[in-house]
Structure 1
Amino acid sequence: MSQSTLVVAQATTTEAPAPAGTEEGAAPAGEAGHTTEGTGAEGGHGGFPPMDAHSFPSQIFWLVIFFALLYLLMSRLALPRMAAVLANRHKAIESDLSKASALKHETEAAIKHYEKSLADARANAQGIAADTRSKITAEIEAESAALEKTLSAKLAEADARISASKTKAMRDVHEVAAETAAEIVSELTGAAVSKDQAAKAIAGLKG
C-alpha cells in the first residue's frame, strides 16, 4: 500500500507541468512529492511491530540468540544444580532406607534372640521344676518308707507287748480261777483241795 502511494506520487510529480514564467513553482511540487513520500513511509511502518513482515528476520535472529543463551544458562547452571539436589536427595533417601533396613534386621534379630532366651528359660524352669518334683517325691517316699518301717516296728512291738500282757493276764486268770475253785470246793465239801489240783480239774474241763 505504501509503495503504490509512493509510485503514484512520483508519477504525479513527473507528469505535472511546471508553472510558466517562474522556476520557483517546481519547489512546491518537489516539496509536495517529498511530503507525500514521507507520509507514505510513515504509514507503511506505523503497524504492530511483531506483526510486521519486515521485522520477522530480526525477531527470529534474536529469538534464536535468547533461546541459545537460555539453553546454555539452564544446561550450565540450573540443570546441574537441580541434578545435584536430586542426586543428594536420592542418596539421602537410599541412606535412610538402608539405615531403616539395618534397624529392621537388628530388631528382628533382637526379637529372635529374646524369643530363644525366653524358650530356653522356660525349658530350664521346666527342667528345674521336674528335678525339684522328683527330688521332693524321692524324699517323701524315703521318709514314708522310713516312717512305715518305724511304725511297723512299733506295731510289732506293741503286738508283742499285748500278746505278752494277754498271756500273763490269762495265766493270772487261771491262777485266780484255780484258787477260787479250790476255795469253793473246800467250803462245799470240807475237804482240802490244792490250787494245782483245781487247775488240773479246770484244764480237764476245758479239754
Structure 2
Amino acid sequence: MSSIANCVRVLVQGWMFASFTVAGAFAMAAPRGDVVLDAHDITGLRGSLVLTFQAVKIGTEDRVVAHFDLNGVEPGFEAAVLRIPLANWDPEPPAGSLGVYWFYGDGVVSADEWDAGMLLREVAGIEAPVATLAVEVTSAVNEGLAQQQPYLSFVYRGGPSDRYFLGSIVNLPDSTILLDYVPEPASWAMAGVGILAVGICRRRRTR
C-alpha cells in the first residue's frame, strides 16, 4: 500500500512541477520589455528640396525629418528614448551639437516641414566620429497618445559648424524610438508562484 501511495505522490509532484514550470515560463514571458519603433518615413531636406539621403549640415542648410507611427502603441511604458545614430563629419574641436525639434506630422516628409517643431533638446559635446545620441521623448510620446495623434515627428538641425550624415548613406541604421515597458504586477506574481512551487516540489523530491 505504501508503494502505491509513494507512486501516486511522485506522479502528483511531477504533474505539479511540470504545470508550475510552464506557468512560470509563460508568466516570465508575459512582460513586454523593450519595444522598438522604426521610423515610418525619414529623409533629409534642403530648403524646398526633399533629399534622398539624410544629412544635417549648416553650410548647405540640410536637415533631417523623421516621422514615427503611434498607431498601435500601448500606454504604460516607463520611458521612451529617441536613438539617433550619426556619422560626425567634423570630429575635431570644437565639439558639435544637434538640435532635436518635435511636432505632430502626417507621416510623410515634405518640404513644408523645414521649420516645423519646437525645440526638445540641444545635444551638445558631439566629438566621436560615429555616435548614437539618446534623447528622452517620454512626455512627447505620452502627449501624442493622449491626443490620439497618429504620428510623432522630429526635425534634426545642426549647430554653427556641424556636418552629420545619417542612415544608409554611411551604413548606419535609421533613428528609432525605444519604449521601455515595465512588467505587469500580475505577471510577476504568477512567475513568483511558479518559481515557489517548483522549489517546493524539488525540496520534497530530495527528502
Q: Larger Rg: 1 or 2?
A: 1
**Fold conserved between structures, TM > 0.5:** no
| TM superposition score normalised by structure 2 | 0.24
| TM superposition score normalised by structure 1 | 0.24
* Structure with bigger RCO (C-alpha 8 Å, 6+ apart): 2
Q: Which has the higher strand share?
A: 2
Q: Which has the higher helix share?
A: 1
